[in-house]
């Protein structure tokens, strides 16, 4: 019998990455009565690592409750959350174009971290992993930033950019996990699945 998991994420990139490693999955998405964005609110003085791990576990708890309410067949549930950190400053999803421009202006010419936490609920067990990558942007002028923001690509993206978009032309170097920067670190995800008894 083919094994499969639930993916509690609306990100098409996470779906693509699971397809890349041959993991069959079904979506387990929040209903209209759930305020998924509220889970991503940053607490005062919260460090980026603590934030991304807390949000991922909160999403996992919500997904487990959703599965139970819906009476769906049991299967492991995978959740992930990605944040961008400039020092201790957490750069989440921009609220509008102005905030996207401000975030990208802050990142231009500097190194930042991309943290992606991943969690897998396998029955009563919860397995966790964390990927931390460093990305350095070249200096970028305001006109180029505005043109990128005008494409709409930054909206819904932590740090107001996607590594697989046109913003890749600003990346001088990466140290870490490319898939983690995309939103699902495949090394850590595969390790969690193997720990849960999967053969990949």
CA atoms within 13 A on the CB side of 16: 8
Q: How far is CA 87 from CA 24, 82, 112, 122, in A?
A: 37, 16, 7, 34
Annotation marks residue 96 as catalytic: no
Strand intervals (E) in the chain = 5-7, 25-27, 77-86, 89-91, 111-122, 125-137, 171-175
| 132/136 Cα distance (integer angstroms) | 14
| 17/77 Cα distance (integer angstroms) | 16
Q: Is 190 exposed, middle or buried (0-12, 13-18, 19+ CB in 10 A)?
A: middle
The maximal CA–CA distance of the chain, rounded, in angstroms, is: 54
| DSSP for residue 102 | H
Which member of 35, 81, 122, 195 is catalytic?
Answer: 81
Cite the active site residues. Answer: 81
């Amino acid at each position: 019998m083919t094994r499969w998991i639930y993916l509690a994420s609306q990100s098409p990139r996470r779906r693509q990455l699971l397809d890349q490693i041959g993991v069959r999955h079904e979506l387990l998405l929040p209903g209209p009565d759930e305020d998924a964005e509220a889970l991503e609110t940053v607490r005062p003085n919260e460090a980026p690592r603590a934030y991304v791990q807390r949000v991922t576990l909160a999403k996992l708890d919500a997904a487990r409750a959703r599965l139970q309410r819906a009476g769906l067949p049991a299967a492991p549930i995978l959740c992930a959350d990605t944040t961008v950190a400039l020092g201790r400053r957490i750069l989440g999803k921009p609220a509008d174009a102005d905030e996207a421009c401000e975030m990208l202006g802050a990142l231009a010419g500097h190194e930042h971290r991309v943290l992606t936490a991943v969690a897998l609920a396998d029955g009563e067990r919860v397995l966790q992993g964390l990927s931390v990558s460093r990305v350095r942007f070249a200096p970028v002028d305001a006109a180029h930033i505005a043109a990128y923001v005008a494409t709409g690509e930054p909206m819904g993206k932590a740090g107001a950019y996607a590594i697989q978009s046109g913003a890749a032309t600003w990346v001088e170097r990466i140290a870490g996990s490319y898939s983690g920067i995309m939103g699902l670190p495949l090394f850590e995800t595969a390790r969690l699945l193997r720990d849960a008894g999967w053969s990949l």
